[in-house]
Structure 1
Amino acid sequence: MQTSIDPNLPLVRADAVLLHHAILNLINNAVKYSPEEEPIEVVARMGRRGPVIDVLDRGPGIPQGSEQRIFDRFARGETSDRTGGSGLGLAIVKGFSQAMGFSVEAARRQRGGSRFTIRIPPEAIVQVSMEDIA
């Protein structure tokens, strides 16, 4: 697994346990569907409107038109017969993200694989002043 975390990301207001489990579920999903020799990438960066966490893989990708449905309970990917699972992992990611006021989305990558993105809204950014640190 490869990680890239922007050191200048702001602090955000989030439930640490829910966010931890959401990211773990995305990583677990990527591991299930990716070839062993292909790395999974976890990227935390500043997006246009706020912090973003991406989990990228090189698996078979999300079928066109299933980008929203994939987060439904019991929804499973086309190759799920060889990977197992209940079809709840991504629904849990969506529920946990929404509980924190975040959004989650899925997309096909141009050269194969999937990108799952947790978007953190600007209102979740914690403004820290120098007086708070002292």
Structure 2
Amino acid sequence: MEAQSLGIMLAGLVMAALVLWLLHLLRRAVRALRGWAGLLRRPRLGGLRLAYSRALARSESARAAALAAEVARLRVELRLARAPEPRFQRAKREFARRFHPDRLPRRTPDRPLRIALFREYWAVLRRIERDG
């Protein structure tokens, strides 16, 4: 009986080893299939990626050209805006020199009216200066 149980145990060990060996072979076969499938698929995907990247580069170059044109246009506008700026600053200073309420005598009858007018126009001049 002891020999019989030893035989059963030995048969179980052989069966377990056989199952493990089959699983190992199956795992290697799956890896090989993945590798072959990857080799078959890569050139096509690589071609698609290359075509996509070329299309992306063309669209980006068109976008870069449009942005360069916009920068050139804005530089021209800035140059034109800076040209009248000194004249505007001189006009603003002259307006302040002539009409600022601090330059009026305290007892002038039209002082409140001139203060209100100065504040209103000064706000407009500041808005023009800020917004361009």
Q: Considering the TM-score relative to the shorter chain, is it more than 0.5?
A: no
Q: Which TM-score band applies after superposition, normalised by the shorter structure? A: under 0.3
Name the one with the larger strand percent.
1
Q: TM-score with structure 1 length normalisation? A: 0.22
Higher relative contact order (CA 8 A, sep 6+): 1
Q: TM-score with structure 2 length normalisation? A: 0.22
